[in-house]
Structure 1
Amino acid sequence: MIDEQEEYDVPRKEGITINPNSEVINISHIGVGGDDNEIMMILVNKKLKNDDTGNLEIVYESDKQIILNKKVAAELKELLDKYI
C-alpha cells in the first residue's frame, strides 16, 4: 500500500517556493516529443480495469502534459542526471 502522505525530497532552488499541498504525480512512462522550439512530455500512468468481457487489462492513460522551452528542458535533463 502506498502512503499518500509520503514525503519526497524535492531539490529546492533559492527564490522558489514549493507549496506543501502540491499534487504529487506518480507516473509509469514519459512520452517525449517536440519541435525546433520546445519539448513536450506526456506523463502516462498505468491502471488495471475490466474490459468488455470481464477480463483485466492494463490501461495507459494521461491527463497531464508538460511543455518546456529547450533551455528549460536542458536544465531539467541536467537536474535529472544529477539526482538519478
Structure 2
Amino acid sequence: QIGRNAGFWFGVVIRGDEEPIIIGADTNVQEHTIMHTDVGFPLTIGQGCTIGHRALLHGCTVGDNSLIGMGAIVLN
C-alpha cells in the first residue's frame, strides 16, 4: 500500500512477497533503497518520512516524520 504523494527515486526495490508493505503519504524514498519483509514481520513506514540513499529496511516499523539516514540498516 502506497500513500498519497509518496515518492520513489530510481533503483528502489520493494519486495512484499512474504508480508505486506505499507508506505505512508508524503514519504520520500531515495535512490537504491531496499525494502523487504520476512514471515511474521511486515514493513510499515509512517507519513512524512525520508528514507536516505541506499538504506536497507527489513521487516520493521518506522514512525511518522522519521529520517532514516543514508546507508542505514534497520532490521526487524
TM-score band, normalised by shorter chain: under 0.3
Higher relative contact order (CA 8 A, sep 6+): 2
TM-score by length of 2: 0.21
More helix by share: 1
Mark the structure with the bigger radius of gyration. Answer: 1
Q: Could you state the TM-score of these two structures normalised by the residue count of structure 1? A: 0.20
